[in-house]
A = this chain, B = another copy of it.
């Protein structure tokens, strides 16, 4: 069922059929006949052919590691809102371990399928960065990339965010602070570990490997496993920590669940902080003290930058940084 069929049925040329359907100049008569024919035949234009001819797809791809993470959902909503009804349609691809690497993605999608790409990978790869450098379509990275890569990016120092959380706990008098990190082979995992170590150093607290653990993923499920492992380490009569810094809100929820399940009080026995400042975390009981990574703002900004690059392909590379922001809630004891 192609435009040729519709044109034949309506008794006009394909050119006229095309015009009639895309509402260019066409007589009322032709327009009606063509639209009728299209309806009768159940004609649906082939977007692939149209894109090929037009050289644009009006599609933007948002590629994330795990769309189950509320952080990315917040970004997505902001991106969609920014493009709005008249902008390109945005679709999401997950590029986690299971579902194809970011490189696959950049390959697959590169040209034709989407006009632009917003990419938020958690694992750095030199291959990916190489591909990004010679990217076939406009791209904005939300996250960190090497300075050498010429690509627009929106970043935030999540190591600093972790440090802010840890410092807040220290300021409240907590001294034995545990850390539940995400996977250490990820960029956020690495950065957050450094941020945590740094904050202890500044406070003059000795780092203790027994108090640090990496969850297998930035998910609740992995967090529960990690938290249990943390609580079961060593032989103690008294809990060897009085606070837990979690690498995001999902891990914080898991930590609180496990702590409470083992009979400890949060925040009295163990204070807990998260990262991402999710709505879910603020509704959790106790509500979770969290450092915002400004996901929505970063998403919106990324969309704006992509749009700007569509307009001006030659504009200089732009790298924007946001500042993390602490939101004190009940899980660390509430406002000071």
Q: What residues make up the interface of A, taking CB atoms closer than 8 Å to B?
A: 1, 42, 44-52, 57, 59, 61, 67-68, 70, 73, 76-77, 80-81, 85, 89-94, 98-100, 107-113, 134, 136, 219-221, 224, 253-254, 256-257, 260, 279-280, 283-285
Contact among B89, B109, B284 for A108, CB-based, below 8 A: B89
**Assembly CA distance A134 to B81 (angstroms):** 31
**Assembly CA distance A87 to B138 (angstroms):** 27
Q: Which residues of B contact A112 (CB under 8 A)?
A: 46-51
Would A257 and B280 count as touching, CB distance under 8 A? no
Across chains A and B, which 8 residue pairs bring their CB atoms closest together, nearest first? Answer: A48-B112, A42-B134, A44-B136, A68-B73, A92-B92, A44-B110, A46-B112, A91-B91
Contact among B42, B85, B98, B254 for A81, CB-based, below 8 A: B98
Do A52 and B44 form a contact, CB below 8 Å, given A68-B73, A285-B260? no
Contact among B44, B67, B100 for A89, CB-based, below 8 A: B100
Do A47 and B111 form a contact, CB below 8 Å, given A80-B99, A91-B93? yes
Contact among B85, B107, B113 for A48, CB-based, below 8 A: B113
**Assembly CA distance A253 to B70 (angstroms):** 15
Q: List 30 A-B contacts (CB under 8 A).
A: A44-B107, A44-B136, A45-B111, A46-B112, A47-B109, A47-B111, A47-B112, A47-B113, A51-B112, A57-B113, A67-B67, A67-B73, A67-B76, A67-B92, A68-B76, A80-B98, A85-B100, A90-B99, A91-B91, A91-B93, A92-B94, A219-B279, A221-B279, A224-B283, A253-B284, A256-B285, A257-B283, A257-B284, A280-B280, A285-B285
